[in-house]
Amino acid sequence: MNADANTPAPQDPSVWTTAQKSPVAQRKGWYLPESTAHPAKMLPEVVRHAVAHYTAPGELVLDPMCGIGTTLVEAVRLGRRAVGIEYEPHWAQVARANLDLARQDSLDIDANVYEGDARQVVTLLPPQYVGQAALVVTSPPYGPSTHGQVSTVPGEGVQKYSHRYGNVLDRGNLANIGHHRLLSGFTRILAGLRTFLRPGGHIAITIRPWREHSELIDLPSQVLACGRAAGLVPVERDVALLARAADTDLVARGSFFQRDFIRKQREAGLPLHLIAHEDVLVFRTALTKKAA
């Protein structure tokens, strides 16, 4: 099924209160300390909301760019089966270790991580997963716009570390190939995922805009176009909060990099604010399979 002009527009957004606890508190006890070094981790509560809303216990959840395995860990914690793909061998190992930790009390739950380029998803995952996934939860890389870690070195000021995806010269990594090629590659991934989703299965993509040379890049709208081009049906465009919802306002939980960026932009005369949410684009596959 191909999306066309008659494809329904996404429904009015719902708001996911996914940051009532800090990211550190959400991961405490469920992820190994090595996980902290990943430059762009998904918020666990975002995954939990998606898994709880779009799947039932025992169903399969997939993430083609699983990083430290957040999607897989949260799926397993909710009694779902899980499978992921990770390009970088180090993070694939960390994802497996996090899965082992999550499965200590549920060893019978099937969960696997495969290494490779998600653009080759159709050949990377074994046939046993074809048509089986109820849900995909994932996020494309943000290029240089990542979280990372900081330390203060006497005499040298604040130093950044763990803020890059692998080797910046590795052109096989989607984070290193430029914006337009990233979109093309992500469209290819989404099209390949249709092989593994069951009829009516959902894909939830967390994404946010970023600024490049002070210009706002509307990545959510671009990814929406990628999903349509991949033959998926857009059904929702939701808001996942990255700030705590207090009684009268939102309490931002910006990283050091975000706060530092905002401060510098304001000093330069651009009145920016901390990002308080991510877009969640939800697509589904056709409700029935085409006859052969």
Q: Determine, yes or no, domain membership for 106.
A: yes
Q: How confident is the model at residue 30 (pLDDT cuts 50, 70, 90)?
A: very high
- Helical packing angle, 89-102 and 70-77, nearest 10°: 10
CB atoms within 10 A of CB 100: 14
pLDDT per residue as tens digits for the range 243-256: 999 988 888 887 77
Q: What pLDDT score was predicted for residue 270?
A: 80
Angstrom distance (rounded) from CA 255 to CA 23: 10
Evaluate whether residue 36 is within a structural domain: yes
Which residues, at least 6 apart from 90, have a Cβ–Cβ distance to it below 8 Å? none
* Range 51-83 burial, b when 16+ CB lie within 10 A, else e: beebbeeebbbbbbbbbbbbbbbbbbbbebbbb
Among 211, 201, 279, smallest CA distance to 240 is for 279
pLDDT-derived band at 176 (thresholds 50, 70, 90) equals: low
Query: DSSP H helical segments within 57-158, as ranges?
Result: 70-77, 89-102, 121-124
Q: How many CA atoms lie within 13 A of 227 on its CB side?
A: 32
Phi, psi of 111 (to 5 degrees): -150, 130
Average the pLDDT over 264-279 and give the result: 84
Share of the chain above pLDDT 70, in %: 80
Q: Is there a contact between 174 and 185 (Cβ–Cβ < 8 Å)?
A: yes
What are 28-37's contacts with CB under 8 Å, separation 24+? 30/73, 30/77, 30/98, 30/101, 30/102, 31/68, 31/70, 31/73, 31/98, 31/101, 32/94, 32/97, 32/98, 32/101, 34/94, 34/97, 35/68, 35/94, 35/98, 36/149, 36/162, 37/149, 37/162
> Does residue 7 belong to any structural domain of this protein?
no
Q: Model's pTM, two decimal places?
A: 0.84
The span from the CA of 177 to the CA of 168, in Å, is 9
207-225 pLDDT, tens digit each: 988 767 667 788 999 999 9
Total number of residues shown for the chain: 292
Angle between helices 219-229 and 179-193 (to 10 degrees): 40
Q: What was the pLDDT predicted at 50?
A: 98
pLDDT digits (tens, 9 = 90+) for 76-121: 999 999 999 999 999 999 999 999 999 887 768 999 999 999 999 9
CB environment 150-182: b (16+ within 10 A), e (fewer): eeeeeeeeeeeeebebbeeeeeebbbbbeeeeb
Spell out the SS3 assignment of 63-89: ECCCCCCHHHHHHHHCCCEEEEEECCH
- The predicted model gives 14-26 an average pLDDT of 93
Structural domain boundaries enclosing 165: 15-247+279-284
Q: Residue 275's pLDDT is what?
A: 81
Assess if residue 243 is contained within a domain. Answer: yes
Asked if 35 and 24 touch (Cβ cutoff 8 Å), the reply is no
Residue 70: which CATH number? 3.40.50.150
pLDDT at residue 264, as a whole number: 82
3-state SS, residue 224 = helix
The two three-digit tokens of residue 17, written as one number:
């209160």
Residue 1 lies in a domain: no
178 within a domain of the structure (yes/no):
yes
The domain total for the chain is 1
Residue 119 is assigned to a structural domain of this protein: yes
How many other CB atoms sit within 10 Å of the CB of residue 278?
24
Q: Write the DSSP symbol of residue 234.
A: E
How many Cβ atoms from other residues are within 10 Å of residue 277's Cβ?
18
Per the domain annotation, does 252 fall within a domain?
no
